[in-house]
Structures are given as structure tokens and as C-alpha cells.
């Protein structure tokens, strides 16, 4: 019979862990493109076309993170796609993106 090593289990602690805020973009990194998709998700790209996962997610969560950044050079879009159709985007304004009543 083969012996399998015991997998250690984590030990719960009483220590409180504070949530980690999203990292600030690296020096010189610009939030270039923000897309609000029809399903309520937000995708964020830097000036090199790389996704910025720390700022992506559900619109309500992404709004909080993005408000703290310099978005003066950012382009905003709304986007949609469906089964069998390629993604499409239309420009929108920063004000429209951040408007709480606009979904």
C-alpha cells in the first residue's frame, strides 16, 4: 500500500485581515480604455492594450476603484456582444459612465 503525505490544513486565527485596496497603476501607466459591457461588467485597458484586472469587475465595484484615478486621457465605451456576433462598442462620455442612474 502506498503512503500519501498528509495535506496540512490551515489553522483559523483570530487575526483580522484588512482588505487590500487595488494597486495604483505603475508610474507612467495610463488608464486608456474603459468598456462597460451590456452584462454590467467593466473591462479596463492601459495605453499598451493590456488589461488592468485590479480595476475590472461589476460596474458598481469598478466605479469606486476608477473614481480615484486620473482619467483625463481615458476613452469610455459601452459594448455588447451576443451568441454568434462579434463584440461591438460605441463611445460614451465619462459623465455617462459614472452616472449612477445610467445602466
The pLDDT tens digits along the chain (103 residues) read 555 445 444 444 455 555 545 555 555 689 999 999 999 999 999 999 999 999 999 999 999 999 999 999 999 999 997 877 888 999 999 999 999 776 5
Around 26, how many Cα atoms within 13 Å sit in the side-chain half-sphere? 6
Structural domain harbouring 74: 31-98
38 lies in a domain?
yes
Cα distance between residue 62 and residue 46, in whole Å: 15
88 lies in a domain?
yes
Q: Is the pTM of this model over 0.85?
A: no
Number of domains making up the chain: 1
90 lies in a domain?
yes
Cα distance between residue 44 and residue 42, in whole Å: 7
Amino acid at each position: 500500500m502506498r503512503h500519501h503525505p498528509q495535506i496540512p490544513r490551515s489553522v483559523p486565527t483570530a487575526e483580522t485581515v484588512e482588505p487590500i485596496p487595488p494597486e495604483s497603476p505603475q508610474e507612467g501607466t495610463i488608464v486608456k480604455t474603459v468598456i462597460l459591457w451590456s452584462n454590467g461588467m467593466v473591462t479596463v485597458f492601459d495605453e499598451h492594450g493590456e488589461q488592468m484586472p485590479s480595476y475590472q469587475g461589476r460596474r458598481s465595484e469598478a466605479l469606486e476603484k476608477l473614481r480615484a484615478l486620473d482619467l483625463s486621457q481615458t476613452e469610455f465605451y459601452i459594448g455588447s456582444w451576443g451568441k454568434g456576433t462579434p463584440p461591438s462598442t460605441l463611445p460614451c462620455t465619462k459623465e455617462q459612465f459614472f452616472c449612477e442612474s445610467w445602466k
